[in-house]
Amino acid sequence: MKILATVLTSLLVAFWIGVISIIVIQNFTPVALKFLVFQSIDIPVGIVLAFSVGAGIVGTAIVQPLLVDVSSGTEDDE
């Protein structure tokens, strides 16, 4: 079962890398991000998407260990 999870995770990551690379190549339109009164410089949509995916991956890697249920640990039943 663990091998299947690893294969599916690898396929999902490969799919998203492919999607991001296609969007980066096809859509080079610059956009400016706005948050409240702040505005960024004009950067291409593909780069914004790539940074968003990267931030999501890093954020998930940081938050996931914090959300693990301590009581769900496995114990040896001897």
**For the chain, domain boundaries:** 2-52
Stretch 49-62: mean pLDDT: 85
The Cα-based distances of 60 to 15, 57, 65 in angstroms read 18, 5, 9
- In the predicted model, what is the mean pLDDT of residues 4-18? 87
Judge whether residue 76 has pLDDT over 60. no
Q: How many CA atoms lie within 13 A of 14 on its CB side?
A: 6
Distances (CA, A) of 38 to 9, 65, 78: 36, 33, 60
Q: What is the mean pLDDT of the chain?
A: 81
Percent of the chain residues past pLDDT 70, beyond the cut? 87
State pTM to two decimals.
Answer: 0.56
Backbone angles phi and psi of 30, in degrees to 5:
-75, 140
The rounded distance, in Å, linking the Cα atoms of 45 and 32 is 9
Reading the block at residue 29, the tokens are 């339109």
In the predicted structure, residue 5 carries a pLDDT above the cut 60: yes
